[in-house]
Amino acid sequence: MGTDQSTNRRLSKVERVIETYDLDGFGEQLADRWTAPEDSDSLRDLADLMNEKVLDAALRKAGEDVLEGEVENLYTLLTGDETTEGMRVQAKNTLQSRGVDVDQLLSDFVSHQAVYTYLTDIRGVSKDSSSGNRIDNVIESIQRLRGRLVAVIEQSLSSLRNTSKLRLGDFDVLVDTQVYCRDCGTQYEVVELLQRGGCDCDESESNY
């Protein structure tokens, strides 16, 4: 795990990935796009954007020429909900044949939770709460709680590993909270549910 030598602080996953793939200036771009006064990007959009940058960098590091639209297409095949398993395997095989370490690439993809932690804890930026957007406030509260939970788990696992009570290599802690609607039968990650404005229930029949 990387460490900030000036502070002896463990680098966040986003920092490590930016450093590994030479994405200079991308951290500032993430902050600018998230805090833009108009048409700001969601955390999920930012995570997808960063992962596409990582995929592009991985191909170029392998000496490959990248065609317009190719990265977006490959990323969709690797992560899209509508992608079949056969299409996903084919995309992985294509990348492998072009010299990309696919397992490492997928491990380096970041979640919207990791992006939020980076923006708020490392860069110290936040959304403008004066707009009174209740959904944004709820999302930020959830992400703060997740950040605390991740920190507690990381500290506990590291302590057990350092005292030889747990065998564990380089690790990242992921917290995934799903919301299942019994009425329409759909399930979404809680932040995605909030960002999309609800589940798949007919709006005219909803209670809000």
More confident residue, 3 or 193: 193
| Domain-located, residue 2 | no
- How confident is residue 140, by pLDDT bands cut at 50, 70 and 90? confident
- How confident is residue 132, by pLDDT bands cut at 50, 70 and 90? very low
Averaged over 104-112, what is the pLDDT? 95
Query: Of 126, 118, 147, nearest to 23 (Cα)?
Result: 118
Shared-domain flag, residues 47 and 118: yes
Judged against a pLDDT cut of 80, whether residue 160 lies above it is answered with yes
Averaged over 169-189, what is the pLDDT? 92
Helical residues (DSSP H) of 98-207, grouped into ranges = 102-108, 112-117, 134-162, 190-196
CA distances from 169 to 1, 161, 162, 163, 164 (A): 10, 9, 11, 14, 12
Judged against a pLDDT cut of 90, whether residue 181 lies above it is answered with yes
Shared-domain flag, residues 163 and 203: no
d(CA 173, CA 153): 7
d(CA 85, CA 202): 30
Shared-domain flag, residues 146 and 61: no
Judged against a pLDDT cut of 90, whether residue 28 lies above it is answered with yes
CA distances from 30 to 6, 47, 87, 156 (A): 23, 9, 30, 30
Query: Of 192, 114, 179, nearest to 150 (Cα)?
Result: 114
Answering whether pTM is above 0.85, one says: no
Shared-domain flag, residues 118 and 197: no
More confident residue, 89 or 207: 89
- How confident is residue 7, by pLDDT bands cut at 50, 70 and 90? low
Judged against a pLDDT cut of 90, whether residue 21 lies above it is answered with yes
Averaged over 177-181, what is the pLDDT? 94
Shared-domain flag, residues 153 and 180: no
Domain carrying residue 96 = 13-122
Structural domains of the chain, count: 3
Averaged over 191-203, what is the pLDDT? 83
Judged against a pLDDT cut of 60, whether residue 1 lies above it is answered with no
Shared-domain flag, residues 162 and 181: no
Shared-domain flag, residues 35 and 107: yes
Query: pLDDT digits over 33-79, tens only?
Result: 998 877 888 899 999 999 999 999 999 999 999 999 999 999 999 99
pLDDT of residue 61: 94
pLDDT of residue 143: 85
| Domain-located, residue 8 | no
| Domain-located, residue 35 | yes
Shared-domain flag, residues 101 and 191: no
Q: What is the mean pLDDT of the chain?
A: 87
Shared-domain flag, residues 76 and 168: no
